[in-house]
Chain A
Amino acid sequence: MYYFGKNMRKILYIIIESIIFFCGILSIIFVILIFGFLFKESFVFLKNYNIVKFLFGRFWYPTLETALFGILPFICGSVLVSVGACIIAVPIGIMTALFISEVASKNIRNILKSLIELMAAIPSIVIGFIGMATIVPIVKNVFSIPTGLTAFTGSLMLAFMAIPTIVTISEDAIHSVPWQYREGALALGATKWQMMKIVILKIAMPGIMGAIMLGIGRVVGETMAVIMITGNAAHIPTSIFDPVRTLTATIATEMGETVKGGIHYKSLFAIGFVLFIITFIVNFIADIFLKKNKNL
């Protein structure tokens, strides 16, 4: 490099910096590409098939002669499983985050954080398999229902997958509360628990809300574990112990059987488009919360 003249070197640096700039804006290009592609593929479908009938139709018979593409059962399935997972994961996650940040000693804190990291790394397919082999029969016997493949079982396993996200991010938020607040509260005679409840939780709340939203995002987008555990029944569930099917599971299970470019194929892209919009909104809200936390 140093054999080049001064001008040559300058040109080289300009080239390098242009490459860096290009890589920087590549993320925007990818998002636009993904959005545009999903939109293009589903536009044809949605033009021919009424969008209201698509979103609120109660029947999904993609292979019939007069095919019906109503995704309401899948929307209900996704919502039911996600809400269930949140009810389990949010309290446990926040309490664990409080424990790690405020109660645990430094060594225990490090061990717990590493364990949570390992927990986040377990592939969803492994969680799905273990759920199928262990939790499903237990649920079947305990509640004496015909099958253990239910929305409830799915919620249990998805809660397990949302917990690492919720713990890590709310722990960050709790940990970043300035020490002056803690000392102020303790100096006024608050006990440690009162300080945590009244001061820390309140200040860290935007960060915790952001963590919950990111957890929801992960749960809604989860695919493989859900396929293996929730029973894949395309009907509107009446209780949490019904088998359900989610939006993601529909794409993953049916894509292999479609004719490329056919209407069934396009309808799955339309589901993908719906998922894209949902997760975009969820993550956008999460980001607003997390930004608020940063401005502390």
Chain B
Amino acid sequence: MIKLNSKFSQKIPFFFLYAATILTIIPVITIIFVIIKNGLSAINWEFLTSMPRDGMRAGGIFPAILGTFFIILLTIIFVFPIGICAAIYLNEYAKNNLLTRVINLAIINLAGIPSVVYGLFGLGVFVIFFKLGVSVVSGALTLSIMELPVVITTTRSALNSVPYSFREASLSLGISRWLTIRHIVLPNAVPGILTGSILSIARISGETAPVLFTASALYVSYLPHSMFDQVMILPYHLYVISTQVPNVRKDMIYATAFVLLILVLGISCIAIVARIYFKRRKKW
């Protein structure tokens, strides 16, 4: 038997590693390319700023864009203060005891619950029990609970990356726990918190299932003017015109997908660029 040179024979598994990576990357690029190619031609100012007409077969997607922004904004207001405080508690105050372990288990569990189950919960609790109705606020509350574990986890790792010696230096000067966190830990953790937050905003803007029964409507003939209104949102609008409404022009569907994709990927790119920028500037 010819013994293959082991240096040579490792070329084969390495080839498979290359192939797998390419298999992972190609679909991403294909999806982005297909959507840009088919959707770009239908994008114009009118499409972005006018109401849908003719049973959503013509006109624009303005109310859906506005509704999406409205929900994102409200979710940010709800989730970030709570998430950041929770992360401060877990990273700065919590001792290694049963309570902390239970909190960690709860966070893991929250992160794993399917989005449609959050939708059910939001429907039962916010829409029906608290009588908020199908509205922006119900949807934003539902999304907030869903994003909470993500915000906690990213903020926590940002806090955790601030060197422990910073805290010790401050505490040894007799400065209280809270003031140390407020003036030493938080300012140094801001870049990490910021990039993590931006990434979770990207996630919120693409979610459909949790807002399906809590905030979104098939079609609303007016623009939302209070947070107790039903709204149209981009992801659900894409679902509706691609599966529920017959004979919608293909390029209009692609254009809607294009706007949603640009919104989500654009926000993610901001986070990635910000992270690279902060990493270069980091002094420790």
Contacts and interface: CB of A to CB of B under 8 A. Distances in A.
A130 B268 contact: no
Interface string B73-117: 000000001110110111001100001001101111111111111
A93 to B, nearest CB: 8
11 contacts: A24-B86, A34-B117, A112-B21, A117-B272, A124-B208, A163-B24, A194-B6, A260-B128, A280-B112, A286-B108, A286-B112
Q: Is the interface of B mostly helix, strand, loop or mixed?
A: helix
Interface in A1-38: 13, 16-17, 19-28, 30-31, 33-34, 37-38
A92 B25 CA distance: 11
Interface residues of B, number: 87
Contacts, number: 250
Interface stretch (B56-64, B163-171, B237-245): B237-245
A280 B114 CA distance: 10
B17 interface: yes
Contacts of B19: 95
B10 to A, nearest CB: 4
B114 A283 contact: no
A119 B99 contact: no
Closest 6 CB pairs of A and B: A123-B206, A221-B114, A24-B89, A95-B20, A283-B112, A23-B85
A13 B261 contact: no
A129 B120 CA distance: 23
A98 B103 CA distance: 33
A221 B115 CA distance: 7
B27 A160 contact: yes
A130 to B, nearest CB: 5
A23 B83 CA distance: 7
Interface range for A: 35 or more
Nearest to A31: B106
Given A19-B85, A268-B120, A223 B115 contact: yes
Interface of B: 6-7, 10, 13-14, 16-21, 23-25, 27-28, 31, 34-35, 81-83, 85-86, 88-90, 93-94, 99, 102-103, 105-121, 123-125, 128, 145, 148-149, 152, 176-179, 199, 202-203, 205-209, 212-213, 235-236, 238-239, 242-243, 253, 257, 260-261, 264-265, 267-269, 272
B117 A20 contact: no
Nearest to B236: A125
Interface string A190-227: 01111001000000000000000010010011111001
Contacts of A220: 114
B114 A117 contact: no
B199 A24 contact: no
A34 to B, nearest CB: 5
Contacts of A275: 114, 116-117
Given A33-B125, A92-B23, 14 more contacts: A13-B178, A23-B86, A23-B89, A25-B103, A27-B103, A95-B20, A121-B203, A130-B31, A130-B35, A217-B112, A223-B209, A255-B119, A256-B212, A276-B117
A145 to B, nearest CB: 20
Nearest to A131: B31
B112 A38 contact: no
B124 A37 contact: yes
B254 to A, nearest CB: 8
Contacts of A20: 85-86, 88-89, 93
Contacts of A255: 119-120, 123, 212-213
Interface in A257-271: 260, 268-269
A251 B65 CA distance: 26
Nearest to A13: B178
B146 to A, nearest CB: 10
A25 B21 contact: no
A251 B116 contact: yes
Contact of B6 (A27, A93, A191): A191
A95 B21 contact: yes
Contacts of A112: 21, 25
A49 to B, nearest CB: 18
A104 B25 CA distance: 14
Nearest to A291: B104
